[in-house]
Structure 1
Amino acid sequence: MRAVKIGIGLPNQIRDVRPDVVPAWARNAEEAGFSSLGSLGRIAYPGVMDTVALAAAAGATQRIGLISTLLLAPVWPPVLLAKEVAGIDAVSGGRLTLGLGLGGRADDFVVDGLGPRGTGKRLDQDIETYRSVWRGEIPPGCDNPAVPEGTREVPLLFGGMAQVSFDRVARAGQGYIGPSAAPGLIAPLFDRARAAWQEAGRAGAPHLVALAYYALGDEERGRANVHDYYLPAGPEGARARAAEVSGGADAVRTTVKAYEELGVDELILIPTVDDLDEVARLADVVL
Structure 2
Amino acid sequence: MQIGIGIPNQVRDVDPTIIGPWAARAEEAGFATLGTLGRVAYPGVADTVALAVAAGATRRIGLLTNILLGVAWPAVLLAKEVAGIDGASGGRLTLGIGLGTRDDDFTVGGLPKKGLGRRLDADLETYRQVWSGGPVGGGPNPAVPAGTRQVPMMFGGRAPASFARMAVHGIGYVASSVPPPMVAQAFDAARAAWRDAGRAGRPRLTATAYFALGDERAARDNVYDYYRNTGDRIATMLADNVALGADRIRRTVRMFEELGADEVILNPGLADPGEITRLAEVLL
User: Which aligned pairs between 1:116-131 and structure 2 lie closer than 5 A?
Assistant: 116-131=113-128
User: Who is 1:147 aligned against?
Assistant: 144
Amino acid at match of 1:92: S
Q: Report the RMSD for the aligned CA atoms in angstroms.
A: 0.7
CA contact (8 A) 1:106 1:115 kept: no
Mapping of residues 155-166 of structure 1, within 5 Å: 155-166=152-163
**Is structure 2 residue 272 aligned with structure 1 residue 252?**
no
Deviations 1:23-52 (A, max 9, x none): 011000000000000000000000000000
Whole-Å separation in 1 of the counterparts to 2:100 and 2:166: 17
1:268 aligns with 2:252: no
* Number of aligned positions between the proteins: 284
Letter in 1 for 2:215: D
Q: How does 1:207-246 map to 2 (within 5 A)?
A: 207-246=204-243
2:62 matches 1:61: no
Structure 2 counterpart of 1:279, one-letter code: I
4+ runs deviating over 4 angstroms: none
1:44 to 25, 41, 45: 41
1:76 corresponds to: 73
Query: How far apart are 1:143 and its partner, in Å?
Result: 3.5
SS across alignment from 1:20: helix
Q: Distance in 1 between matches of 2:139 and 2:166?
A: 30
Per-residue CA deviation, residues 51-102 of structure 1 (Å, 9 max, x unaligned), is 0000000000000000000000001010000000000000100000000010
Partner of 1:284: 281
- Displacement of 1:161 after TM fit? 0.4
Matched, 1:96 2:93: yes
TM-superposed deviation, 1:239 = 1.3
Alignment of 1:11-26 (within 5 A): 11-26=8-23
Letter in 1 for 2:86: D
CA deviations on 1:197-242 (whole Å, 9 max, x unpaired) are 0111100000111110000011110001001011001122211111
How high is the sequence identity, in percent, across the aligned residues?
A: 60
| Uncovered stretches (5+) of structure 2, i.e. residues with no partner | none
CA contact (8 A) 1:212 1:270 kept: yes
In the superposition, the TM-score normalised over structure 1's length comes to: 0.98
